[in-house]
Amino acid sequence: MKELESFTIDSKCLFCDATLIGDTTKKYSSGDLIKCMNCGENNDYDSLIDIASTEGLEVVSKQVNEHFEKLVKDMFKD
Ligand SMILES: [Zn+2]
């Protein structure tokens, strides 16, 4: 079975849509705020994770569907 393509999800600022660059020396966890370098607003970590996981699921399910369609086509090939 072919492995699913890898993908990345960037965390985007909830206010200005700039890519968030977190402090790499710090580990973020639930309840933390990540300050946007572009607009200076504080982004709620939990909201960012929510959005990232929703987008991630969409990407994964799309890839699984495409893979499955190909698999079915191959099965019914003469
Ligand atoms: Zn921002």
State pLDDT tens for residues 10-44. Answer: 688 999 999 887 666 777 888 999 899 999 999 99
Share of the chain above pLDDT 70, in %: 82
CB-CB contact of 53 with 59 (8 Å): no
Residues 6+ away with beta carbon under 8 Å from 52: 9, 11
DSSP state, residue 18: P
For residue 16, how far is its CA from the centre of ligand 1 (angstroms)? Answer: 4
For residue 45, how far is its CA from the centre of ligand 1 (angstroms)? Answer: 13
The one-letter code for the residue type at 74 is: D
pLDDT at 57 (0 to 100)? 85
For residue 38, how far is its CA from the centre of ligand 1 (angstroms)? Answer: 5
For residue 22, how far is its CA from the centre of ligand 1 (angstroms)? Answer: 12
Both tokens assigned to 75 = 């099965």
Distance between CA atoms of residues 18 and 14, nearest Å: 8
For residue 3, how far is its CA from the centre of ligand 1 (angstroms)? Answer: 35
Asked if pLDDT for residue 9 goes beyond 80, the answer is: no
